[in-house]
Every structure is written in C-alpha cells, then in structure tokens.
Amino acid sequence: MPTPRFLTLDDVAEILNVSWSQAYALVRRKELIAIQIGGRGQWRVEVDELERFIQQKYAEARAGTVPPEPAAGSTAGADAVEQRG
C-alpha cells in the first residue's frame, strides 16, 4: 500500500504527541499549513508540510528563536469545537 499523501489532525496529533486541540491550534495560527475538505472541519495536512513544520521547529530551537508560550487564557482551545476529520 502506498504511503498516504495527507494526514488527518488525529494523525498529526499522534505523530507530534500532542492533543487534537493542540494540532488544530497550529493550523488555526497558520504555523502548520492544512487544507479543509468539505465544510465541517475535515482538515488534512500534507506529509511534506508536516515534515517542513518539524524541520522549522528544529531550526528555531537551534537558533534560539522559539516563540514564547501563549498567555494563559488564550482562546486557541475555544476553536477546537469543529468536527474532527
């Protein structure tokens, strides 16, 4: 079976060892580029985009340019009510 081109947010969350909500927040902040299939939050991330994201995070860590954590009370989790895909 060929390697899939696209991953669901559940797949991305598992690969990055984060919650679905955290993966969705990355997409909402446009840190991780994804496409929406249909109108009900069926997000897909291309495997190459996830790899680019990971490499970018490593580059930021090496350069010491990791952005600060979002402030407490951030609304990132509030957007996670869309349907998982």
From first CA to last CA, the distance across the chain in angstroms is 21
Question: Which of 55, 38, 54, 42 is closest to 6 using CA atoms?
Answer: 42
Q: What is the pLDDT of residue 65?
A: 73
Confidence of residue 84 (pLDDT cuts 50, 70, 90): low
Give the Cβ contact number of residue 83 at 10 Å.
10
pTM given for the model? 0.72
Domains of the chain, by residue range, sit at: 6-68+75-81
Question: Which of 21, 2, 56 is closest to 10 using CA atoms?
Answer: 21
Q: Which fold has domain 6-68+75-81?
A: Multidrug-efflux Transporter Regulator; Chain: A; Domain 2 (1.10.1660)
- Tens of pLDDT, residues 29-82: 999 999 999 877 799 999 999 999 999 999 999 998 766 776 766 554 444 444
Residue 15 has pLDDT above 90, yes or no: yes
What is the chain's percent helix, strand, coil content, to nearest 5? 45, 15, 40
